[in-house]
Structure 1
Amino acid sequence: MYHEDYFYAHVLSAGHLTPSMIRVRLQVEDHDRYKASDHADEWVRLAFSPGDGLPVTLPQRRDGRWGRFDGSPSCPNRPYTVRRWDGSTGEMTVDMVAHEGGVAASWATHAKAGDIIGICNPEGRYEPPADARWILLLTDITGLPAVGRILEEMSETVRAIVHVEVPASADEQVLSSDAAISLTWHYTHGRAPGREGPTQLHEVARSIDTLPAGPGYIYIAGEARAASAARKHFRDTLGFDKTRIDAVGYWIEGQARV
């Protein structure tokens, strides 16, 4: 169950993890109220200044309802994966894709220690069946933070087959897990001659023509249409049980991620 609540956080540090990924460490205020979702792919909404020189503000709770009863303007917000969370200290790590344009990417590019941001309680989707002996993780770079955390929290009793689409080899990350991992990087993210669109995640999915034996689970994260096409491949072409597939649209080509 989602517990609505809002928090201020300030930046502890920010900088490039890889050419296409910026890592931001946040200190969440009043973190004792923060309620983790228990999903390894959990995400929060980061709220940014509504305009030059205007402060970040949060909704208020009154008579059991949340709203902006003080008349403060709404702040633009975007969803981002909680890469790491320390409930004892209130420190949160968020990895953000670096790209041209967009309120969040622009903020991340210029973020510095002391900057104030707003966040809300998290929610998530990743929920493998208890009997899953193998898990297939298929993502573009936007879902890489979620996959990194999923692998770190995965049991050694599970086998993980991982396919990650990034712009270039320099965007690879070291991913650790107690599980046995088969990891393949695909350097097909972004527009280039001969490619249709900015992601080839659906083509990566179609290149997978067999699945392991036994009960499994498939988690797909990326551009919404590509994720849907990937899900269709596993469901219709390979005949995998649709109830054991979660496909999450992290972004939609040509639209702001809101």
Structure 2
Amino acid sequence: MTTAVAAPFRFFSLQVVRTRRLGPSLVRVTFGGADLQALHSDGRDQSLSLFLPHPGQPEPVVPLDLGDNWWQAWRELPDDIRAVMRSYTLRALRQDALGRTSEVDIDFALHGVEPGAATAAGPASRWASRAGAGDRVLLLGPAVADNRAIRFRPPEDTDLIVLWGDETAVPAATAILESLPAGIRVQAWLEVPHAADIQDVRTVADAEITWLVRHDGAPMAVDAVRAADLPPAERPYVWIAGESGQVKALRRHFVGERGVDRRRVTFVGYWRQGMTEEQLRVAE
């Protein structure tokens, strides 16, 4: 069953097919379901909204029967009843022989679940760390391949791509890197909590990828980027995603200190230190 929301986005009823731990801080959950045949996306940082059940619930509670009025009705449900909503990016999409979507991968950052975590795990991290085959979720995603929830859009004349992302943006950043063609130059910084979170990224692009490991005392975000020598470029494109405070500081660095045209900088705050997603939506 698919329910229209606001074209080109729809609800999709999905089930967990399998899970795979990528490191102490990341787990990949593969979803399937007949609904997926209607999901389409050409974006490598495609944004999605995932609705998760509370412990003990067989499926997430979202009043889909109310059609376009579902949002207000969902907001009015008790906190311990209404589905947990979190934003994620699509890590991978696979199609069957007829070109229909058959599976999608979403990588979850396990904040508060990884060893030595300083903060308690949130509901999405807890769910992902325990997810098993058959678990049911709802996904609000695109039915049209080119949609407004795709942010990575380098201009055609780009001669250098610069990427930065923390563990919440690593899924999108690695998907971007894997999609880039041969010959395009890329400078990327990917920040993760543990060395065991570092992934093997296969790309044909001319890419220099630097992994920053917080628990090993590596220089973080602005310090590492500021100290780096970028390849010479006349028309660079910058994509920055992750914790909003770091993202804003990096945008200021690229625009103010390196002189990159602000129209060629895409910046997305996926989360904010010390705030839940609910609090962040209210603050914004």
- TM-score by structure 2 length? 0.80
Distance across 2 between alignment mates of 1:113 and 1:54? 13
Letter in 1 for 2:104: M
| Equivalent pairs, count | 250
Displacement, 1:91? Answer: 0.1
Pairing of 1:145-184 with structure 2 (within 5 A): 145-184=171-210
Distance across 2 between alignment mates of 1:28 and 1:130? 36
Alpha-carbon contact 1:223-1:251 (below 8 Å) kept: yes
- Deviation sequence 1:5-29 (CA, Å, 0-9, x none): 1011101111311121101111033
SS in 2 for 1:121: strand
- Deviation sequence 1:109-158 (CA, Å, 0-9, x none): 10011100110114221111111121011111111000111011111131
- Deviation sequence 1:186-234 (CA, Å, 0-9, x none): 11269x8xx9xxx932323322354522211010111101100000001
Match of 1:248 among 247, 260, 268: 268
Task: Tell me the equivalent position of 1:81.
Answer: 89
Match of 1:67 among 66, 70, 75: 70
Gap change, CA 1:34 and 1:254, over 3 Å in 2:
same
Alpha-carbon contact 2:236-2:260 (below 8 Å) kept: no
Identity of aligned residues (%): 30
Gap change, CA 1:159 and 1:211, over 3 Å in 2:
closer
Task: Tell me the equivalent position of 1:110.
Answer: 130
Distance across 2 between alignment mates of 1:211 and 1:56? 48
Letter in 2 for 1:103: P
Distance across 2 between alignment mates of 1:170 and 1:2? 40
Q: 1:8 and 2:13 equivalent?
A: yes
- Deviation sequence 1:6-56 (CA, Å, 0-9, x none): 0111011113111211011110332222232x3211121111114633532
Distance across 1 between alignment mates of 2:69 and 2:157? 39
Displacement, 1:86? Answer: 1.7
Task: Tell me the equivalent position of 2:47.
Answer: 43
Q: CA RMSD in A?
A: 2.5
Distance across 2 between alignment mates of 1:173 and 1:54? 33
Alpha-carbon contact 1:57-1:118 (below 8 Å) kept: no
Distance across 1 between alignment mates of 2:261 and 2:107? 32
Letter in 1 for 2:221: L
Task: Tell me the equivalent position of 1:56.
Answer: 60
Displacement, 1:61? Answer: 6.4
Distance across 2 between alignment mates of 1:189 and 1:32? 41
Distance across 2 between alignment mates of 1:201 and 1:2? 36
Displacement, 1:2? Answer: 5.5
Letter in 2 for 1:121: G
- TM-score by structure 1 length? 0.87
Pairing of 1:93-242 with structure 2 (within 5 A): 93-100=105-112, 101-122=121-142, 123-188=149-214, 200-208=220-228, 210-242=230-262
List runs of 5+ in structure 2 lacking aligned partners: 1-5, 113-120, 143-148, 279-284
Distance across 2 between alignment mates of 1:18 and 1:58? 32
Alpha-carbon contact 1:46-1:117 (below 8 Å) kept: yes
- Deviation sequence 1:220-254 (CA, Å, 0-9, x none): 11110110000000101111111100111011000
Tell me which stretches of 4 or more aligned residues in structure 1 moved more than 6 Å: 68-72
Q: 1:257 and 2:260 equivalent?
A: no
Alpha-carbon contact 1:44-1:119 (below 8 Å) kept: yes
SS in 1 for 2:259: coil
